[in-house]
Structure 1
């Protein structure tokens, strides 16, 4: 039997904790997951909804965070065994030589975009020249914007704004375009209506990853492996019944996005647990970008340096063909 309670958890900031306690007869090992829910990686939602962790003999405490950065801080601060995030916080952590290992790449998002008002005349990357563009500096959307402007050979006036402030800033006319996180796309489309314009880009695909603490890999490796087995099982269930999976995501976010919007996001998402060279190559590129901006005082990283922060063993144990991180491209 599973008990679900809610409490406040204090880490880098306050977050809502959902404690899932399985009966002792089923839960032989305990794990704490720092979770930043994102519709693009529905495996955790499905695993929780269908009790896959419990069936794997795990007692999982899930602590939810507003951002992957906060979840990562909980992991490296010793308050969690596992954490989900996009890859950028992990690259920053690697440059700072923080203690963690990436154990899975759950999904890749291919629908990144710039959003503007159609009435602004912005229709292509070149039209961003000299415009005021809102973005949250230091995030993967900032990385994306730099790649878009660089490829177009133009410069723009960058306006830093919190994620929640980007769509309102565009509506007020404080900025002429924004690069928000994907979960803001539906709200932007609804708010702008017929004046909505998007510029899609294939220059960057965020990877949604799962990382583990070295302590968990040392003392709870079998539990981590079984956790990944449940995630791989969830992959199959998402593919077999995407409607049920979308409803699991909607339940997690408590109605902040509807099932139709979730499925729309999935049209641009490669959902499936793996570890391959594409993640490592992206991390190297982002590491050089972070160092170049002076965010971290370090040398630009090599593939060998960042490879040391990836541990494919547990995933290889449950899905051998998906862990090909060392395969040359």
Structure 2
């Protein structure tokens, strides 16, 4: 059962050794900023099967409206771990905030631009020229849209809107295309019906990551290994029985989506907990884009400046094959 509690923790001694690395001897309470979502079945399965408790952890879930807000709680050492897409972490790194990305749980390959046949057929990025395109500025979908337009060499009118307003804006005709988060794709299909159109352009995969607070990195390395070890165990179950994993996710989503929509999303998602160079490269690319947009004033990031924010020691301790970083 998911518990939504205040992000204050009680720390216990760390002594137990399991799977070749140290786990807490008694149940240690840790806080995790995470909200039910379709992209992290490892968490749902670990909670449902008690893998965190088997690892000696009492995980208290603290829900936030967005990954950005969960990340802010992490920076303030109010939570031990936080789930998010990579974008808030890149912004935090540019600002010199202290934290560490300890795992990349999943990568989504189905990012798309949604349109309506009432306005224009979307067959290639060239069809975006001159359109009013809605997105949420200062987010990873804004980064994706910018990448698509720049690569195609076309210009469009970009209109800022909250994620929940983008599909309604498209239906009303306030915008002629929309770039929103994957959780709103199904809404687009249902609402637009026969007029629904989509354009999939490669070049960007959202990474769904786990970050640890600096206090957790400094004081509780065994706790991080225990936490990731439970997720690795759950991941094996997701691979062995994806249907049961979907049921665990749907139970936590409480009707927010259905199994068919979840299957479609998972067809475009890679579920494997890793830390690889592609994430580092993306953080550098996004960091430079963020600076260009004036969102953060900082020196241009490089692989050397971003690399310390990927803390690979705990994941290497579980399985060295999961890490491929310079």
> CA offsets, 1:211-236, max 9 Å, x none?
00121122111111010001111111
Runs of 4+ in 1 over 6 A off after TM superposition: none
Aligned mates of 1:298, 1:148 — CA distance in 2:
25
Aligned partner of 1:111 in structure 2 is 110
Instruction: Tell me how far 1:26 sits from its aligned partner.
Output: 7.7
- Are the aligned partners of 1:26 and 1:54 in contact in 2 as well (CA < 8 Å)? no
RMSD in angstroms over aligned alpha carbons?
1.6
Aligned partner of 1:15 in structure 2 is none
Aligned mates of 2:49, 2:69 — CA distance in 1:
26
Instruction: Tell me how far 1:134 sits from its aligned partner.
Output: 0.5
2:62 counterpart of 1:63: yes
Aligned partner of 2:189 in structure 1 is 189
Q: Which runs of 5+ in 1 are unaligned?
A: 12-24
> Structure 1 length as normaliser, TM-score?
0.91
SS at match of 2:45: helix
SS at match of 2:118: helix
Structure 1 pair 275–6 and aligned structure 2 pair: CA distance change class (3 A): closer
Aligned partner of 1:226 in structure 2 is 226
Which segment drifts farther, 244-253 or 186-195?
244-253
Aligned mates of 2:240, 2:110 — CA distance in 1:
23
> CA offsets, 1:266-296, max 9 Å, x none?
1000110000100000000000000111111
Q: Which runs of 5+ in 2 are unaligned?
A: 9-23
Aligned partner of 1:46 in structure 2 is 45
Which segment drifts farther, 254-263 or 92-101?
254-263
Aligned mates of 2:232, 2:120 — CA distance in 1:
45
Aligned partner of 2:318 in structure 1 is 318
> CA offsets, 1:175-225, max 9 Å, x none?
000001000001100111111100011110010000001211221111110
Aligned partner of 1:272 in structure 2 is 272
Structure 1 pair 151–68 and aligned structure 2 pair: CA distance change class (3 A): same
Which segment drifts farther, 288-297 or 58-67?
58-67
Aligned partner of 1:237 in structure 2 is 237
> Structure 2 length as normaliser, TM-score?
0.92
Aligned mates of 1:53, 1:45 — CA distance in 2:
11
